[in-house]
Amino acid sequence: MNADFTIENGDVVMTTQTLGNDETGVIESDGQLNTMNVGAISAPGDDVTIKNEGSVSTTALVLKEFFQRVEDW
């Protein structure tokens, strides 16, 4: 489903975000968009705006756990 999205400070989103025409996605600092095995942002539309000040990542399950542990440390 296409829609604008904003991931605020401290939020963690683990589902792929899809942007259509003229839509905007914002990941604020300390916001996380983390998906496993698939693209984190899919933007097939034109004139899409993505502003990332946080983290956009795709990880395998093992790596995700690794990064999670690193972050916890």
* Chain positions contacting other proteins, by CB under 8 A: 21, 27, 29, 36-60, 63
Closest CB to other proteins among residues 5, 41: 41
Closest CB to other proteins among residues 6, 21: 21
Beta-carbon contacts of residue 29 (< 8 Å; ≥ 6 apart) = 9, 53, 54
CA distance 14 to 40: 8
Cα angle vertex 65, ends 33, 70, to 5°?
A: 85
The nearest distance, CB 67 to other proteins, in angstroms, is: 8
Closest CB to other proteins among residues 11, 55: 55
CA distance 42 to 30: 21
The nearest distance, CB 52 to other proteins, in angstroms, is: 4
The nearest distance, CB 23 to other proteins, in angstroms, is: 10
